[in-house]
A and B are shown apart, each in its own frame.
Chain A
Amino acid sequence: MIKNLLNILFLIHVFFTINYLLPENPLSSEFSKLTNTYMRPIFHQNWELFGRNLVKNTPSIAYKCSLEDDWFLLGHNILNKHQDTRLLGLGKLYYLVNYNIRETHKHYISLNQFEKNPSEIRKKILNQSNMKKILSHISKICKKETITLGMALIRQKNISEIEEPEPHELVIIEKFENVQIIRSP
């Protein structure tokens, strides 16, 4: 008796998991509330991330400590360390460091949709909370109060541009020169 009950439970689990995981279809939308209540805390899983479209433009922030220097990428040393030693899982750390960068890029894109005046956009971005953290981060690295930085994209080239030797290029969308950093007390 208990064995049969367990078997039925297994079949129910199979049904709900299939409903929860497969791409949207009429069946899953019919039972969506039930499946969510069954799956959410314990059996929650998301395998869509293995098949989504790849991001070809990775947002990043480039900075200069003085105007004559080359561009440096924020978090580049973690990325290099990650690429040297794969087993330490530093890629996750890089992902975390990029958190503020991604947020500011989202903010920048949404600002560009609604705001027409470029100087207003620059002001609003420099006053954003995530951007302020980035600024203090860079000023700590450079040990300076005035820095130059730029919103950048690491663009992955298409196959049609295959003659060039480098697979990536740095595109700087917006430049901020000599930004003064006001430390909060």
Chain B
Amino acid sequence: MFKLYEARKRFSLFRKAVYLAEIFHLVSLWSVIQTILTSNYYSINLDQVFFEGVSEYVNFSILVTSLLLFSLIFLIVSMTRSQNRFFYVGAYISLTLFYEVIGPVLDGGNNLSLIVIFFLCFTNENKRGPFEDHLVKLVSWVVIFQVSIMYFTAGCYKILSPLWRNGTALFYVLTSVEYSTPLVAKICWILGPIPFVLPSYLILGFQLFFPAAIFNKKLKYLFLGVGTIFHVSIGIFVGLPTFAMNVFATYFVFLLTIEDDVLKCFKDWTCQIIKNKFSLLKNRI
């Protein structure tokens, strides 16, 4: 089924997924920001958190809503019908400004997607030519590297912390105040820590072996499936749906057959260098 798509079409699918996840994130932020701005009950300490230095010059609510609207418009246009790099760059700039203003309301997912959107500015898969093709390949490599290094560092830090090493961390996450619902917490408390030991080691293994596994054609799809289940359950049980969406959107880049397409360009490149050096050596001899 996947062979029907060209690499370019798959890349545009990836681009749309990333932008769609970001739109979802912005819509969820919209409701939060509206409650902050409109309700008197919340506004007692929130403006103090937000405003430092900004409040004297600009009206905060106008600034925030206009930035949010700008980034939404840019994202929607570049997702649906744009073949123009201007909209990609505009989306990136307005998003960075928006996130700079509302700093403390963010989770880790926006960080990842901002980096990905930055690299997406440099490519346009609708244009054709050897240079553009090379750019598409390089950017997909950068995103693949970015996602795998994210998983690997998370795994490294997890292994360093004692709770993850003795297999009780998942239990404590699912019974904590901020990351769990009362119902889930009570069910976990009744079940006890034993059923959560193997899954927490599974998460460790998944995160540490992810960078290696994506180079194998069969293991890649297995790991992507496990990751999908992992992120869906994060979205439902841990209460971070936007983070889960943002990370899941980057999975579409793995649908590009990196074994065939992208690795080949590096092979060609290294082969050329070796050949040139050998020819130089021959000439000298």
User: Does B77 sit at the interface, judged by CB under 8 A?
Assistant: no
Q: How far is the CA of A87 from the CA of B245 in the complex (A)?
A: 11
Task: Flag if B32 contacts A89 (CB, 8 Å).
Answer: yes
User: Does B63 sit at the interface, judged by CB under 8 A?
Assistant: no
Task: Flag if B134 contacts A91 (CB, 8 Å).
Answer: no
Which of B13-21, B38-46, B64-72, B248-256 sits within the interface? B38-46
Task: Flag if B32 contacts A18 (CB, 8 Å).
Answer: no
A92-B107, A95-B178, A159-B168 known; A17+B145 contact, CB < 8 A: yes
What residues of B have a CB within 8 angstroms of the CB of A166 in the complex?
A: 189
For this complex, into which size category does the number of interface residues on chain B fall? 35 or more
User: Does B205 sit at the interface, judged by CB under 8 A?
Assistant: no
Q: How far is the CA of A136 from the CA of B159 in the complex (A)?
A: 44
User: Does A118 sit at the interface, judged by CB under 8 A?
Assistant: no
Contact among A44, A79, A137 for B44, CB-based, below 8 A: A137
What residues of A have a CB within 8 angstroms of the CB of B29 in the complex?
A: 89
Task: Flag if B182 contacts A83 (CB, 8 Å).
Answer: yes
Task: Flag if B157 contacts A51 (CB, 8 Å).
Answer: yes
Task: Flag if A168 contacts B177 (CB, 8 Å).
Answer: yes
Render A75-113 as a binary contact track against B, CB cut-off 8 A, 1 for contact.
Answer: 000110011001111111111110110000000000000
Task: Flag if A10 contacts B185 (CB, 8 Å).
Answer: no
Render B19-31 as a binary contact track against A, CB cut-off 8 A, 1 for contact.
Answer: 0000000001101
**How far, in Å, is B133 (CB) from chain A's closest CB?**
10
User: Does A52 sit at the interface, judged by CB under 8 A?
Assistant: yes
User: Does A58 sit at the interface, judged by CB under 8 A?
Assistant: yes
Task: Flag if B149 contacts A167 (CB, 8 Å).
Answer: no
What residues of A have a CB within 8 angstroms of the CB of B46 in the complex?
A: 96-97
* 12 A-B pairs with C-beta separation under 8 A: A3-B269, A6-B134, A6-B138, A22-B153, A53-B161, A58-B178, A79-B177, A89-B29, A89-B105, A99-B104, A100-B45, A136-B44
